[in-house]
Amino acid sequence: MVRLSSDTRMRHGAMMLLAATCISLAACREAANESASAPSNTFGNTTEHVVPLGNGTMLVAPKGSVARDILDWAKASGSGSRRFEFGGDQFVGKSTEPTPELRARLVPFEALIRAYPDLHAEIIGYTDATGDPAENQRISERRAARIVNELRQNGLSTVRVTSRGLGSADPIADNGSVEGRASNQRVVLVLTKES
């Protein structure tokens, strides 16, 4: 296994976020170009995936995506908390190294939390049930802290984004299979909205 220095990992993380942002921006431009040339009654018009945020920025958030679910919840009136699962492969094995897939999923979340100042986020880390429970607890805490630190490095407020780990608690899949254990290696997002 190749070990990367923390500077290399930070540069890699920054490049992944930049790439995901560029992909999102390209999709926004593409959707805007399609809407300009398509008749207004075209079924499946992609402009429904490009949504304005509270601060005037645009976000690609297809209906049914986690980003769209978060956006719809953030826009709704009222206060309270809600839990969101990012899904997909999130960490490289039982490490604290986020996958490119997870880093890409964090980009829309960053935009949403910036656009809605009444949102507070807690990132909760988890592991599968294999191995030492005390080590699983430490890994889950480090995973959540790693994601929060990456978000903070990108300018999110230390007050609005916090972390905690829950070890192998709350599995979403069967720990008896490789696929199930991979699904349980995750972080989840709990958003709290104040009115």
pLDDT tens sequence across 79-98: 999 999 988 899 998 899 99
pLDDT at position 35: 38
Identify whether 20 is part of a domain. Answer: yes
pLDDT at position 97: 94
Going by pLDDT thresholds of 50, 70 and 90, the confidence category of residue 156 is confident
Burial of residue 73 (CB within 10 Å: 0-12, 13-18, 19+) is middle
Do you know the residue count of the chain? Answer: 195
Identify whether 89 is part of a domain. Answer: yes
- Only one residue has tokens 């593409």, namely 30
Q: What is the pLDDT of residues 5-57, one digit of tens each?
A: 555 544 444 444 444 444 444 444 444 444 333 333 322 445 678 888 878 88
Return all residues near 95 (Cβ < 8 A) that are at least 6 apart: none
pLDDT at position 108: 85
Identify whether 65 is part of a domain. Answer: yes
Q: What is the DSSP string of 2-45?
A: PPPPHHHHHHHHHHHHHHHHHHHHHHHHHHHHHHHHS-TT-TT-
Angle among Cα 171, 186, 4 to the nearest 5 degrees reads 145
Q: What is the pTM of this model?
A: 0.74
pLDDT at position 146: 95
* Alpha carbon distance 58, 65 (integer Å): 16
* Alpha carbon distance 30, 28 (integer Å): 5
Q: Strand pairing partners for 192?
A: 81, 120
Q: What is the pLDDT of residues 139-153, one digit of tens each?
A: 999 999 999 998 888
- Only one residue has tokens 């699962």, namely 85
Type of residue at 160: R
Identify whether 118 is part of a domain. Answer: yes
Q: How far apart are the two ends of the chain, measured CA to CA in Å?
A: 48
pLDDT at position 40: 33
Across the chain, mean pLDDT equals 79
The arrangement of strands across the sheet holding 161-165 comes to 80-85, 187-193, 119-125, 161-165
Q: What is the CATH number of the domain that holds 91?
A: 3.30.1330.60
Question: CB–CB of 128/179 below 8 Å?
Answer: no
Identify whether 161 is part of a domain. Answer: yes
Identify whether 1 is part of a domain. Answer: no
What is the extent of the structural domain holding 54?
A: 6-193
pLDDT at position 24: 47
pLDDT at position 7: 53
Total domains, the chain: 1
